[in-house]
Structure 1
Amino acid sequence: YGKNTIKFLRLHREGKQHFVKEVEVCAHLRLTSPQEYLEGNNSLVIPTDTIKNIVLVLAKKNGIPSLEQFAIDICNHFMTTFCQVAYVKAYVQEVPWQRLHEDGVPHIHSFICVPDGIRFCEAEQCRNGPLIVFAGIKDLKLMKTTQSGFEGFYKNEHTTLPERHDRILCGELFCKWSYGECKDFDFNCIWKKIRECILEAFAGPPDCGEYSPSYQKTVNCIQMLVLSRVPQVQIIEAVLNNTFYNVVDMKNLGLTNDKEVLVPVEAPYGSCACTLGRK
Structure 2
Amino acid sequence: MRLGENRYGKSGIRLATVLRRGERHDFTDLTVDVAVEGDFAAAHVAGDNARILPTDTMRGTVYALAKREPVGSVESFGLRLARHFVDTVEPVSAAIVSLAEQPWTRIDVDASPHPHAFTKAAGGRRTAVVQATSGGDADVLAGVEDLYVAKTAGSGFAGFLSDELTTLPETDDRILATAITAHWRLRGLDHDWDRLA
Q: Scaled by the length of structure 2, what TM-score is found?
A: 0.90
User: Is the aligned partner of 1:186 residue 2:192?
Assistant: yes
Q: Give % identity.
A: 32
Q: Scaled by the length of structure 1, what TM-score is found?
A: 0.64
Distance 2:44 2:165 in 1: 51
C-alpha displacement of 1:74? 0.3
C-alpha displacement of 1:129? 4.3
Residue 5 of structure 2 is matched in structure 1 by none
Counterpart code for 2:54? P
User: Is the aligned partner of 1:76 residue 2:83?
Assistant: yes
User: Is the aligned partner of 1:146 residue 2:147?
Assistant: no
The runs of 4+ residues in structure 1 deviating greater than 4 Å are none
**Larger % of helix: which?**
1
Aligned residue runs from structure 1 range 28-47, under 5 A? 28-47=35-54
Contact 2:87 2:134 survives alignment (8 Å): no
Aligned-partner SS, 1:120: strand
Larger radius of gyration: 1
Aligned-partner SS, 1:147: strand
Distance 1:157 1:109 in 2: 60
Distance 1:128 1:10 in 2: 31
* Corresponding residue to 1:116 among 114, 119, 123: 123
Counterpart code for 2:75? E
User: Is the aligned partner of 1:136 residue 2:140?
Assistant: no
Residue 241 of structure 1 is matched in structure 2 by none
* Corresponding residue to 1:169 among 171, 176, 185: 176
Per-residue displacement from partner, 1:1-30 (whole Å, max 9, x unpaired)? 100000121111122221111111001101
C-alpha displacement of 1:158? 2.1
Counterpart code for 1:177? W
Distance 1:188 1:67 in 2: 9
Residue 34 of structure 2 is matched in structure 1 by 27
**Larger % of strand: which?**
2
Distance 1:180 1:26 in 2: 23
Distance 1:23 1:162 in 2: 44
RMSD: 1.5
Aligned residue runs from structure 1 range 251-262, under 5 A? none
Name whichever of 54-63 and 100-109 sits farther off. 100-109
Distance 2:62 2:54 in 1: 13
**Structure 1 unmatched ranges of 5 or more:** 192-279
C-alpha displacement of 1:102? 3.2
Aligned-partner SS, 1:9: strand
**Structure 2 unmatched ranges of 5 or more:** 1-7
* Corresponding residue to 1:90 among 88, 91, 97: 97
Aligned-partner SS, 1:168: strand
